[in-house]
Chains A and B, each alone.
Chain A
């Protein structure tokens, strides 16, 4: 058989992938809206969950269609009007921490605000079953999963949640205890980021806004997930509030001049959510002397700076901001991306390597 060169093999792989993309474009897979009759002949809406729960593509292996399918699924979930739904989780095999958190938040909102009864068809993937069990999503789905989580990349998933009007720091103890277990550090910089994010959520995220008509969750109203994977610690805080773009003008209602200045500084960013995110960062960065507010975002960056290296990111509706710092750099780099789909809320997240000891940089 003729041996092909690396270049030829790459070309063949690209050609096949291109053909698949063309095929997908011609026959896009829409979120299936199946209905089935149960024993009492009541019609149930069946939503088919995609294979990947992912908010933002990160590796070359994942193209945008994974993300699109997940958001189509979320949109269908948000639009549920029936009193009962069935979620078919059969195909789910990859659950990224922030997307899983958003899924849990949306399920919780559905049951809280619409009283929707959720049933589910269990996933075939054993890992997914373990994740659902470990995160408590199985209870929201009314799934009975017998398997006990034992995988190393699952057992360190931790969750905390609480009412939208209260910062309950005691709910964070299981997360911090696990961080201590894996890092050996009883005090960790990520605590300041989580607690300030929760404070921001309680103070600003669920303000009344004329443009937001959807019903908002009350208890829980904020969610925190933690995961340890590939020698990295991931911590994510989520709310389903009005988003920073709408909250910032309300927070600065009595300081219109300052708001105008901030928005002028960030005017070149694409998308109003990104401009609001950058304005909030700028407000936090320059908030010396303004003691009441604005420090939340400064704390969020301080988590990475105090740790020495890592990533901080913020997603608010369609805005995406990421701050990345390598150990050798004095200051990290940031960038914004305008997202195609809104997450209908705000997510703040950190990804920090486990191998470094924060105390090195603190003391």
Chain B
């Protein structure tokens, strides 16, 4: 199977030169974080990912998970890898030192998370879900709940899950039916949850489920949903967490991909009721969920881009080794590796420029998450929060949708071998398919982007964010040399602003209209946001190329190659991805009526 080599140079570039690691390091609590520390962390994470997680990615896919006597068993090697992972202290990377975490910035956590997801997506979902559970308890749990659950979740001794979905309640959580009835200091839950990632497994001693449910007199809809902590094992009389709670794993789903990640149907309270503990106040559950949603959605975007990076690496290796055809301008020459063919180079370049742009965007948002939490200057903090608000659905929606296209291109590079399972390219294609679905489908991200992030305040916040990007792009050091790109960027921002205006205007008429073009609008934002990152990358690269002094002590020559290639990649992005803004702008301005006017008869067979 293909190996994985963490893109450490590009991750450090994106973190230090695009996402302003230095600014993040100046935030209170991050004084010890430096570029050198980031480098060491990425190198060691890359080593662990490459040697421990990546080798069991394919075997895990082939073997899958199984349910034996009510207990889920993970694939061979999973338990050992998980033990090594938590013993390495990786599980607690971004969490507070008081609860056993390492207190590192989300910017660093984002870079490291890409490495885990790329090496082994199915494996890394377990820590990803635990991270969400920690965030929820951290933000809304009582002091006692924090003391009870956080240290073990942060260390990874226990894992966490998110139990939202029910058969009738997926995108629309107002339909949640699971019941919770108060009994003394706790509640008894009953109902069914489906599609629960790592809902049961054999990696940890306990599993802490965070469950959305309704209390008996709760108001209908989203305002009547509460959040509960429901452990798989409860403490017995001696305080040992050995008492089995009334939760049953009813079945495991057979799926298109992520075969080694258990997706469970969980039955709560079939016997006596599952013991659960209320988080915060009754009926506030969905609001609590939303506070951690940003982190989880951002994480899935990073995941989508990580899987694309893995597939891309495999495609490059294959293209360099597969001999087929001759140089198109030398028909009598030697047969060559397919990487010589212009169309293969184009396929690889497309993947590369998108992955690098999305990586930079995801890290930038990671850094903004740090400013949002720790910045003491109120104005800077607001700016960071607004960036996170706008960019979260874009990172989630666009990185996963584009990730899907990318893994398809990576497979295409392999020709027929790509379609054959043993090659391994197919696994990335299958695994990637879930990323635009869970944690809110792309459609739901798009509604978030036009609803809460645009229409709600008449486009004011959206306009401010666009303006800040415009300012940055207007103040580049190498604006003259990059005129073609800055020009393209200015036009793209104008189209984005126009589209946003038209969406706000049409919303006043009929909300159906903006909803009909919300997905193209999310894509438009994605293309522009990525372009912003590539333009910055080009600017930095030009400056670095002109600098005779290697600023960070790395070998001159190595850096020269890196920056030259970065500039090349950025130029390719502007020639091959950026032009999409014109088409998307057109789609947004002309298609909504046609979508809304389509009635059921249009979709009837015949």
Say whether A associates with B.
no
